[in-house]
Amino acid sequence: MAVLYPAQPIGLDRAAKVLLDIAGTEANTAIGLSRLGVRTRFISRVGDDPFGRRIRATLDREGVDIGFLETDSSAPTGIFFREPLADGARRVYYYRSGSAASRMTPEGLNPEAFRGARIVHLSGITPALSVTAAATVRRAIEIARQVNARVSFDPNYRAPLWDRGTAAAILTDLVRQVDIVLMSEEDATVLFGGGDTFALARAAELGPATVVVKQAERGAIALCADKLYHSAPRRVKQVVDTVGAGDGFNAGFLAATLRGLDIQECLDLGAEIGAKAVGRLGDYAGYPRKREKRKGAALSGAKGKREK
């Protein structure tokens, strides 16, 4: 999608200047992974309009493969507006009904796009867009199994897109079909109706090998092979914008997974990237690149872009 938000931390009704960028959890995660040296491909649809062209150009500039990003000449690119609230949260206004992405169909997925993939990452936002988009997610899981790729899933519940009951039923069913679940605390509550550790256990009972709850400023916890892991929160000099932190966590966790690191290291890299995201305005602007060093292990732990 394209996103517009005030250049200053004020409401849209008072903003004299707004900034335009691309956004969306899948695009953010793809950019974060690419910056960490992971070979990444983005599969979706955009409209034949300035917003679709900007999405293409941005992803391409970030090193994301857009060879299977289709252009729909008869539907617009989805757009949303975001504004800050007094308590530091954000309010969003979606304009994506009938968008190009909402018109994705299972038949439109090209199995060739999945060739060589080791992880296929999906989000719960896509099935909220339309019946055909939901069917496309299920088909993507089927193709992932055919190419022996693991499936990662961020439920990413968004109240403005669908009612809570429908969302819980569909997202819980998808949890049953994946290998890695990366959920927020809100996801944990909506899907499983309990605290974080309770949600970990309930989700794991459905089948995923690894379940994570991202706890924002409190770090993150994971359950894998009946063992509980915890990553402590990272020190942040200044919180500028929390949007994109969860997607940054996803990128770090999945990059570490592809490097064969253990669950604790995956959690730690996810927490680190998520913390870096909040220091700059914009969804993905704060994500580090692999040439940037950190104490302990270097972000350039993978040589070249060999993971996928």
The residues assigned a catalytic role are 247
**What is the spatial distance between Cα 218 and Cα 238, in angstroms, rounded to a whole number?**
16
Backbone angles phi, psi at 188, to 5 degrees: -60, -40
In this structure, the dihedral spanned by the alpha carbons of residues 121, 125, 131 and 135, taken in order and rounded to 10 degrees, is 10
The terminus-to-terminus CA distance of the chain in angstroms comes to 23
**What is the spatial distance between Cα 211 and Cα 222, in angstroms, rounded to a whole number?**
6
Residue 212 pairs in a beta bridge with 182, 222
